[in-house]
Amino acid sequence: MSDTTPANTSFNALPLSPALLATLQQLQYLTMTPIQAASLPVTLAGHDLIAQAKTGSGKTAAFALPLLTRLNPRRFAVQALVLCPTRELADQVTQEIRRLARFEDNIKILSLVGGSTLRPQMASLEHGAHIVVGTPGRIMDHLDRGSLKLDALNILVLDEADRMLDMGFNDDIVYVVKRCPPNRQTLLFSATYPEGIDRLARQFLHEPTEVKLLEKHEGSKIRQRFYEVKHEERLQAVATLLKHYRPVSTLAFCNTKQQCRDLLEMLHAQGFHALTLNGDLEQRERDQVLIQFANRSCSVLVATDVAARGLDIAQLEAVINVDVTPDPEIHIHRIGRTGRGDEDGWALSLGSPADKRRISAIAQMMGDEPEWHTLGSLQSGNDSPLVPPMVTLQILGGRKEKIRPGDVLGALTGEAGFTREQVGKITVTDQTTYVAVSRGIAREAVRKLSAGKVKGKSVKVRALEN
Ligand code: ADP
Ligand code: MG
């Protein structure tokens, strides 16, 4: 088990082709992230690997680089397979591999995920693919139908393995792995290391090297405080914290779905703009929640660890642990989502007297004494409601209608007369486009967009409010 970073973190030290090195430079990947520095020498040498590091640490490139290096583009067969838990994550991985594969224009990377019809995927497979990224269920379907063959496979990657297990994919994974050639290289990536992972690894990996980066977050960026609460005060305490700290975006973790529902109800009742992520949402609804949260038009996102795994949100002022998790690694992973880059972040946790031992253990693991505060010490002076700075507008029509972000920006800043600064993130999905605008102009923007045209056509527009 290695927990040290090699001194040389330049990609140039690795046996990568000049073209691949040039691509990395173009992408501004100047130095390896710690997980890349620890795992690339191992994987490029052909060894099996178990790697554990938190979300956003650069795990995709850690497996994409060996995968692209081993690939023979002249051989028309699937040479690498990446299993991911969700369509969303599979899409992210596909995009990242495509960016890294830019140096070779004839590498075909295919995403095979549920939620879209099988037939077009089968047609794409017939045209040949070098790398397949997919969700376990869908990959299994294609194996069953004979549309996907794995006999030329060199590398198998299990990405976000912990989450795949959480989602009940164990049997599907076993089914798929058993159809891979036995002499392949297997790489397993995970943000946490629950017991099931060990079982998978023992079954399917061959003398793997283990790389585990338990990141100690820089204390200066994440400010961690614990608040003692009685059981019955817990939900109300979240509102008190939000009113006191007034973060623009907060991710609130609960240990159970029921707690998520209760908290959401309480927050709505008190006028907060809050949304929740849970496994019951359809993909389209989930996308919509994430878009609203990421573009700063929703103050609080309430989620369980399972629902939030893999989420990478750039600007997050606070993480609130409504329930403290029993697993210190999960705790560290949760709070590591705030205080990214140069921003400071608050990690606020609620603990009952019964949680105290657990919290001491967590703090000890982070090399700290827990800093306890009381709710009574919080200013309740500012009672004005916490309002997100932006509002998300939903425009019916998306990629299918050939709408691009520039069309929407053009419509808002052109005829409608708004400034660029009043327009936030624009996200175009297949059938819908989302644009964030400053709260103050939301109503007028809906009116003007509805009256005018986007890409030469009238469009239906509404503001999403939560
Ligand atoms: P993980 O899978 O660990 O959650 P990702 O692979 O999605 O993390 O990487 C997170 C972000 O960091 C991505 O936007 C990716 O493009 C970027 N990234 C990865 N490696 C590097 C690097 N060496 N230098 C700069 N940016 C990087
Ligand atoms: Mg990842």
Residue 139 predicted with pLDDT over 80: yes
**Contact between 155 and 116 (Cβ < 8 Å):** no
Domains 11-212 and 222-378 in one fold: yes
Domain assignments of the chain as residue spans, ordered by start = 11-212, 222-378, 390-464
The pick from 11, 59, 60, 163 for probing ligand 1's pocket by mutation, whose C-beta has the most ligand atoms within 8 angstroms, reads 60
Q: How are strands ordered across the β-sheet holding 209-212?
A: 109-112, 131-134, 80-83, 155-158, 185-190, 49-52, 209-212
Record the tokens describing residue 190, joined without a space: 């995970």
Closest-approaching ligand to the CA atom of 10:
1
**Residue nearest to ligand 1 atom 15, measured at CA:** 58
What's the pTM value of the predicted model, to 2 decimals? Answer: 0.59
How many angstroms separate the CA atoms of 188 and 160, rounded? 8
Mean pLDDT of the chain: 90
| pLDDT tens by residue, 171-192 | 999 999 999 999 999 999 988 7
**56 C-alpha to center of ligand 2: Å?**
7
**Is 390-464 CATH 3.30.70.330?**
yes
pLDDT at position 5 is 40
CB-based contact 90:84 (threshold 8 Å): yes
> Ligand 2 centroid to 60 CA: how many Å?
5
pLDDT of 6: 42
Kindly report, residue by residue over 13-66, the tens digit of the pLDDT: 999 999 999 999 999 998 999 899 999 999 999 999 999 887 888 999 999 999
Ligand nearest to the CA of 340: 1
**∠194-200-201 over CA atoms, to 5°?**
90
Number of other CB atoms surrounding residue 75 within 10 Å:
12
* Residue 433: φ, ψ to 5°: -120, 135
Which DSSP helix (H) or strand (E) runs through 377? none
CA of 310 to the centre of ligand 2 (A): 6
Say how many Å lie between the CA of residue 343 and the centre of ligand 1: 18
Angstrom CA distances, 12 to 33, 67, 385, stand at 14, 17, 52
Q: What is the CATH code of the structural domain delimited by 11-212?
A: 3.40.50.300
**Other beta carbons less than 10 A from residue 7's beta carbon:** 7
The answer to whether domain 222-378 has CATH 3.20.20.70 is no
